[in-house]
Amino acid sequence: MTGLVPNVWAAIIIPIPAATLALILRLKARRMTRMGMGYDDGLSILAWIFAVSYSASLILWASRYKLGQKLESYDDRRIDFYLEKSRLILWISEFLYAWSIFFSKLAVLTFYRRLFQLSSIRIPIIICMVACILWIILRTFFTIFHCIPVQAFWNTAISNARCLTNIAKFYLGTDLTHCLMDFIILALPIFEVTRIKLPAGQTVAVAGLFASGSLVGIASIFQIVASQKYRPGTRELPYELALSLVWGNVEVHLAVFASSLILLRPIFRKFIPGLSSGNSYATSRPSVAFQASTSYRNVPRRATEASTEETPHSTVTRELTHGGCNAIDLAGSKEDVSRSLRGWVNHEEYHMSGLPGRQGILPAPGNVVPVD
């Protein structure tokens, strides 16, 4: 093998198992916590399907049509054949790449919306969703109509065709936009997370989540830089675009991996005890958005204690928001935020621990006291 072929095969094959394993473990974690699949899980599956399809297109290109190799040693007829097939696969792969990225972003934002639906960032989350939808519409439209007629993009024998004169600028504009959205999406929950205090193990876990998300943006930057080598009339298309395409492959699979990592805590805590909280009862309950402004904490009672006394706070109405254990009311005090988010971070323990009560069932009025 010559040219960039070893790099191409390594970048195609290595990320696929990592993303696939993360997705499988994500679905396994859902079963372990007795939670059904959500919209974010379905979107992650779609992102993975498009990512694997994108990888398959690159495998076909590398194995049959010289992706990563220079064509200068072939005769003109053979070069024209490889260029036509390369442009066709490039056109198809652009759809697969864009839609995989789109579904990964939407999966993360859907998860955010369920988690932070009562916080101050719920409006920015919706704005980012709308921005992603507009981005994929524009990207798909311009990808289809690179040339008019459409097939003129790969069939240069068509006369009187009109095509975009600078494909590199198209890649720069659309890829830079979604790269910026990656970092914006990554930064959305930072303010809320910094307001709370988590145990050391959970702090490391949260830091790892942000680090994995930032790798997606870094891969996107490398992809953008490599894509600027594209020249419309080049006779070395498979070689000049090889690095851009394989960085795109790394990016789509990293996006699937990162979007699944945040839900793998039930898996990780079996091997990393530090991820478990110290108070397995109070902090492992599903997080609930309280409508009352008074904060409460659970107080364990002795088995021999029996009380029929009713506290003044026993009639406070508590309501569950849509989404149940994934909703967090972050509009209250810092202590409220910390308790709620810790409750979500550990809610998998609650489902697996066999503690009394089920999701969304609060302690009896006699078991709670107001926090001063």
What does DSSP say about strands 162-163 and 147-148: parallel, antiparallel, or unpaired? antiparallel
Predicted pLDDT at 23: 93
- Give percent of the chain above pLDDT 70: 69
The answer to whether residue 68 scores a pLDDT higher than 80 is: yes
DSSP structure string for 334-345: HHHHHHHHHHHH
Predicted pLDDT at 319: 37
The answer to whether residue 225 scores a pLDDT higher than 60 is: yes
The answer to whether residue 298 scores a pLDDT higher than 90 is: no
**Mean pLDDT for the stretch of residues 42-61:** 96
Q: Please state, in angstroms and rounded to a whole number, the distance separating the CA atoms of residues 139 and 134.
A: 9
Cβ-based neighbours of 321, under 8 Å, separated by 6 or more: 117, 118, 289, 327, 329
Predicted pLDDT at 10: 92
**Mean pLDDT for the stretch of residues 167-177:** 82
Q: Do 145 and 205 contact (CB within 8 A), yes or no?
A: no
Predicted pLDDT at 283: 33
- Name all contacts of 80-88 with Cβ < 8 Å and 24+ positions apart: 82/238, 83/156, 83/235, 83/237, 84/154, 84/155, 84/156, 85/61, 85/154, 86/61, 86/237, 86/238, 87/153, 87/154, 87/237, 88/154
The answer to whether residue 329 scores a pLDDT higher than 80 is: no
Q: Name residue 148's beta-bridge partners.
A: 162
The answer to whether residue 156 scores a pLDDT higher than 80 is: yes
Whose CA is closest to 172, among 97, 229, 215?
229
As to burial, measured by CB atoms within 10 angstroms (0-12 exposed, 13-18 middle, 19+ buried), residue 338 is middle
Predicted pLDDT at 121: 86
The answer to whether residue 369 scores a pLDDT higher than 70 is: no
Q: How confident is the model at residue 311 (pLDDT cuts 50, 70, 90)?
A: very low
Structure pTM?
0.73
pLDDT in tens, 73-111: 899 999 999 999 999 999 999 999 999 999 999 999 998
Q: How confident is the model at residue 266 (pLDDT cuts 50, 70, 90)?
A: confident
Predicted pLDDT at 67: 94
Cβ-based neighbours of 181, under 8 Å, separated by 6 or more: 105, 128, 131, 132, 135
Predicted pLDDT at 129: 95
Q: What is the SS3 assignment for 54?
A: helix
**Mean pLDDT for the stretch of residues 199-221:** 77
Q: Does domain 5-268 have CATH number 1.20.1070?
A: yes
**Mean pLDDT for the stretch of residues 42-69:** 95
Whose CA is closest to 97, among 57, 64, 149?
57
The CB-side HSE value for 295 (13 A sphere, CA atoms) comes to 15
DSSP state of 276: S
Whose CA is closest to 253, among 103, 100, 102?
100
Domains in the chain: boundaries: 5-268, 278-299+314-372
Residue with tokens 């793998």: 264
Whose CA is closest to 66, among 50, 55, 81?
81
The CA-CA-CA angle for residues 213, 211, 286, to 5°, reads 75
Predicted pLDDT at 347: 46
Predicted pLDDT at 363: 47
Q: Do 255 and 216 contact (CB within 8 A), yes or no?
A: yes
Predicted pLDDT at 316: 37
- The letter for the amino acid at 31 is R
